A and B are shown apart, each in its own frame.
Chain A
Amino acid sequence: MKNISLIKEYSKGVWKNNPVFIQVLGMCPTLAVTVSAINGIAMALATTFVLLFSSIIISSIRKIIPAQVRIAAYILIIATFVTIVDLVMKAQFPELSKALGPYIPLIVVNCLILGRQEAFSSKNGVLRSALDALGMGTGFLIALFSLGGIREILGNRTILGLQIMPDFFEPWLIMILPAGAFLTLGLLMAYLNSLAIKTKKKEKALLVSKFIIAKNKFKIEAEI
Chain B
Amino acid sequence: MELILIFFSAAIVNNFVLSYFLGICPFIGVSNKISSAFSMGLATTFVMVITSIVTWLIYHMILLPYHLEFLQYVSFILVIASLVQFVEMFIKKVSQPLYRALGIFLPLITTNCAILGLALFIVLREYTFVEGIFYGLGAGIGFTLAITIMAGIREELDLADVPEPFKGAPITLIVAGILAMAFMGFSGLIT
Task: Report A's interface with B, CB cutoff 8 A.
Answer: 24, 27-28, 31-32, 71-72, 75-76, 79-80, 82-83, 86-87, 101-102, 105-106, 108-111, 114, 174, 177-183, 185-187, 189-191, 193-194, 197
Contact = CB atoms under 8 A, between A and B. Distances in A.
16 contacts: A27-B21, A31-B21, A32-B21, A75-B77, A102-B121, A105-B120, A106-B113, A106-B117, A106-B120, A111-B111, A181-B21, A183-B173, A183-B178, A186-B170, A189-B173, A193-B166
B181 interface: yes
Interface stretch (B22-30, B55-63, B136-144): B22-30
Contact of A182 (B22, B73, B111, B176): B176
Given A111-B111, A186-B174, A178 B21 contact: yes
Nearest to B118: A102
B140 to A, nearest CB: 17
Contacts of B20: 32
Contacts of B73: 79, 82-83, 86, 105, 108
Q: Looking at chain A's contact residues, is the secondary structure mostly helix, strand, loop, or mixed? A: helix
B34 interface: no
Given A83-B74, A186-B177, A28 B22 contact: yes
A92 B21 CA distance: 27
B117 A83 contact: no
B65 to A, nearest CB: 20
Given A102-B124, A109-B77, A28 B24 contact: yes
Nearest to A24: B169
B171 A186 contact: yes
B74 A106 contact: no
Q: Looking at chain B's contact residues, is the secondary structure mostly helix, strand, loop, or mixed? A: helix
Contact of B173 (A32, A83, A182, A191): A182
A174 B22 CA distance: 19
Contacts, number: 118
Best-surrounded residue of A83, A179, A183 (most CB of chain B within 10 A): A179
Interface in B13-42: 18-25, 28
Interface in B147-179: 163-167, 169-174, 176-178
B70 interface: yes
B133 interface: no
Contact of A193 (B19, B113, B165, B174): B165
Interface of B: 18-25, 28, 70-74, 77-78, 81, 111-113, 116-117, 120-121, 124, 163-167, 169-174, 176-178, 180-181, 184
Contact of B28 (A27, A79, A87, A114): A27
A65 to B, nearest CB: 16
A108 B164 CA distance: 35
B184 A179 contact: yes
A175 B99 CA distance: 42
A174 B181 contact: yes
Given A31-B24, A76-B78, A87-B70, A178 B173 contact: no
Contacts of A110: 113
What 4 pairs across the A-B complex have the smallest Cβ distances?
A: A182-B177, A186-B173, A194-B165, A183-B177
A111 B180 contact: no
Given A114-B111, A179-B177, A183-B173, A108 B116 contact: yes
